């Protein structure tokens, strides 16, 4: 993903909030500290379909922002 | 100027401080450099002594430890071995274990960062295990020997200090495990009726090896009653059949640590190591109905579509995918116990041998000492 970002296409990593520290650290380690992170509430595993949908709803506006900013 | 002084000349790799044990320990704890236990301050003299048993350039990279992908050079590793309390002659095994963990199949990134509670288990085989007095007998997995305790601890300190396995930031284990402090044993080759692990894996008996396994802590199998090979093996197989196992979820390679007494009973029944693995594989299974409906639908049918795609509740879910996936060793002292050691699952054990530069096997760590 870091390599993709360096090459220029729109990139983002979806991560749950409990893993935000790890995601930020990894972005820094891989030399892409500005890697966009789409943050959803933890957990991701062991949840019902309604909760999965609610996470998608949290992710969607962040994704739209990303697309708008990328298009500018 | 020594070789090490030269290496330490780079900015940020060393600092000057008063030689005050408590003050330095407070500083290390405050910066998160360690495991929470007191450390031996890694000063220049101690690190140089550790490196007496390093036969390669002190700045030659051994590997990159994730998730920080910290470059592991002998001198950086030596600082951690000093902190852990290692004797210098242990250092070749510490380097070898790190090298083994950096082999791709081990998936050190996964082992380091997973929410699962695994830790690298080191199994040492060959003459060097005896030379360094690594415990293979009573309480082998527990405390008591400087070699077991500090070699395993040096690995943990390197994983934290070089690799960045800091709880909550790099090490995301939900629980962690006491095995993360230190997890190093030798196989009890003298008491084993089978060929030892390194010979099984193609090394000569007089080679010395380290096998690394991304493992949970041992789980006991008490069997004071069975007098036959089949009895012992059936009890071990049944104990390994746990639905919440990562080995089932990710097709892993769990360890069975036979006590010498259990191994003797199994061999008396005519079982080679391969025979014992086959028997375990045939008898270690879980009825699909023991998993929750969600696990059956979301994982088991998806992971094993051909076997379980349309299977009913009585279908057999094997603990391992093939007999060879059980890793068998003989460990421990007297007693009618064996141990089942599940793993992270998404990891394969890796065995490397201590060798000279020209490929010859090392017979004694003294051969690696610098003149």
Q: CA-to-CA distance for B331 and B190, rounded, in angstroms?
A: 10
Q: CA-to-CA distance for B33 and B79, rounded, in angstroms?
A: 11
Phi/psi at A19 (5° precision): -105, 15
Q: CA-to-CA distance for B228 and B234, rounded, in angstroms?
A: 10
Between helix B229-239 and helix B273-283 the angle, nearest 10°, is: 50
Do A29 and B169 count as a contact with CB atoms less than 8 A apart?
A: no
Buried b (16+ CB within 10 A) or exposed e, A9-38: eebbbbbeeebeebbebbbebbebeebbeb
Q: Which residue of B has its CA nearest to A48?
A: B294
Mention every residue, 6+ apart, whose C-beta is less than 8 A from residue B326: B253, B254, B255, B256, B277, B280, B281, B284, B320
Domain definitions of chain B by residue range: 1-7+14-216+350-371
Q: Which residue has the tokens 């003050």?
A: B23
* CB-based contact B129:B186 (threshold 8 Å): yes
CA torsion, ordered B175, B285, B255, B197, to nearest 10 deg? -170
Preferred mutation among A2, A22, A32, A46 to probe B, highest tally of B CBs within 10 A:
A22
Q: Which residues of A touch B69 (CB under 8 A)?
A: 29
Do B67 and A22 count as a contact with CB atoms less than 8 A apart?
A: yes
**Using the 8-state DSSP alphabet, how is residue B360 labeled?**
P
Longest alpha-carbon distance in chain B:
73
Question: pTM to 2 decimals?
Answer: 0.95
Other beta carbons within 10 angstroms of residue B165's beta carbon come to: 26
Q: Residues B120, B221, B194, B229: is their CA dihedral positive or negative?
A: negative
Nearest alpha carbon to residue B171 among B109, B98, B113: B113
**Using the 8-state DSSP alphabet, how is residue B343 labeled?**
B
For B147-185, give the secondary structure using H, E and C.
HHHHHHHHHHHHHHHCCCCCECCCECCCCCCHHHCCCEE
CA B148 to chain centre: 11
Q: CA-to-CA distance for B92 and B86, rounded, in angstroms?
A: 11
**Interface predicted TM-score (ipTM) of this complex, two decimals:** 0.85
Q: CA-to-CA distance for B178 and B111, rounded, in angstroms?
A: 15
The reported pLDDT for the residue numbered B3 is: 80
Nearest alpha carbon to residue B184 among B260, B253, B132: B132
Do B169 and A25 count as a contact with CB atoms less than 8 A apart?
A: yes
- B350 beta partners: B212
Tell me if residue B339 falls in helix, strand or coil.
strand
Buried b (16+ CB within 10 A) or exposed e, B242-275: beebbbbbbbbbbbbbbbbbbbbbbbebebebeb
Q: CA-to-CA distance for B68 and A26, rounded, in angstroms?
A: 7
Interface of B with A (CB under 8 A): 67-69, 113, 164, 168-170, 172, 294
Q: Which stretches within B102-161 are classed as H helix? A: 108-113, 127-131, 146-161
The reported pLDDT for the residue numbered B1 is: 53
Q: CA-to-CA distance for B227 and B130, rounded, in angstroms?
A: 31
Q: What does pLDDT average to in each consecutive run of 10 residues of chain B (371 residues)? A: 79 87 96 96 96 95 96 97 98 98 98 98 98 98 98 98 95 97 98 98 98 98 98 98 95 97 98 98 98 95 94 97 98 98 98 97 97 78
Q: Which residue of B has its CA nearest to A27?
A: B68
Q: CA-to-CA distance for A14 and A40, rounded, in angstroms?
A: 7
Do A25 and B69 count as a contact with CB atoms less than 8 A apart?
A: no
Between helix B91-101 and helix B146-161 the angle, nearest 10°, is: 50
Q: Which residue of A has its CA nearest to B68?
A: A29
Residue A29 touches chain B, beta carbons under 8 Å: yes
Place A45 in a pLDDT band, splitting at 50, 70 and 90: confident
Do A21 and B168 count as a contact with CB atoms less than 8 A apart?
A: yes
Could you please report the per-residue DSSP string of B299-322? IIHHHSHHHHTT--TT-EEESSSS
Mention every residue, 6+ apart, whose C-beta is less than 8 A from residue B363: B127, B206, B208
The reported pLDDT for the residue numbered A43 is: 93
Nearest to A22 among B69, B169, B294 (CB): B169
Phi/psi at B202 (5° precision): 95, 5
């Amino acid at each position: 993903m870091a390599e993709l970002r360096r090459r220029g296409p729109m990139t983002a990593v979806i991560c749950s909030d409990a893993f935000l520290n790890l995601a930020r650290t990894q972005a820094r380690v891989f030399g892409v500290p500005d890697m966009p992170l789409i943050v959803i509430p933890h957990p991701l595993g062991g949840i019902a379909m309604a909760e999965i949908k609610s996470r998608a709803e949290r992710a969607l506006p962040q994704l739209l922002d990303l697309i708008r900013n990328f298009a500018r | 100027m020594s070789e090490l002084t030269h290496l330490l000349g780079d900015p940020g790799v060393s600092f000057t401080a008063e030689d005050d044990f408590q003050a330095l320990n407070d500083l290390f704890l405050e910066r998160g450099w360690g495991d929470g236990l007191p450390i031996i301050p890694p000063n220049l003299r101690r690190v140089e002594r550790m490196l007496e048993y390093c036969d390669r350039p002190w700045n030659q990279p051994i590997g990159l430890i994730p998730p920080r992908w910290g470059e592991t050079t002998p001198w950086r590793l030596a600082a951690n071995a000093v902190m852990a309390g290692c004797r210098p002659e242990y250092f070749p095994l510490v380097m070898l274990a790190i090298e083994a963990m950096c082999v791709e199949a081990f998936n050190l990134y996964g082992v380091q960062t997973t929410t699962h509670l695994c830790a690298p288990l080191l199994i040492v085989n060959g003459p060097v295990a005896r030379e360094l007095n690594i415990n293979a007998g009573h309480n082998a997995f527990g405390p008591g020997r400087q070699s077991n305790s500090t070699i395993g601890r040096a690995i943990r300190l390197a994983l934290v200090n070089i690799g960045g396995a800091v709880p909550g930031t790099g090490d995301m284990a939900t629980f962690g495990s006491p095995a993360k402090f230190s997890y190093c044993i030798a196989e009890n080759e003298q008491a084993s009726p089978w060929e030892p692990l390194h010979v099984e894996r193609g090394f000569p008996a007089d080679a010395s090896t380290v096998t690394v396994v991304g493992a949970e802590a041992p789980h006991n199998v008490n069997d004071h009653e069975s007098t036959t090979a089949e009895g012992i093996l059936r009890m071990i197989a049944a104990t390994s059949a746990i639905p919440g196992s990562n080995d089932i979820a990710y097709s892993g390679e769990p360890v069975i640590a036979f006590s010498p007494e259990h191994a003797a009973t199994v061999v008396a029944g005519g079982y080679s190591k391969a025979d014992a693995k086959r028997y375990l594989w045939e008898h270690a299974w879980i009825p699909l109905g023991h998993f929750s409906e969600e696990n059956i639908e979301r994982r088991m049918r998806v992971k094993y579509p051909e076997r379980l795609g349309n299977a009913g509740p009585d279908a057999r879910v094997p603990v391992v995918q093939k007999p060879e996936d059980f890793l068998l060793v003989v460990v421990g002292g007297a007693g009618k116990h064996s141990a089942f050691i599940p793993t992270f699952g998404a990891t394969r054990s890796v065995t490397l041998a201590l060798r000279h530069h020209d490929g010859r096997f090392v017979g004694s760590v003294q051969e690696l000492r610098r003149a």
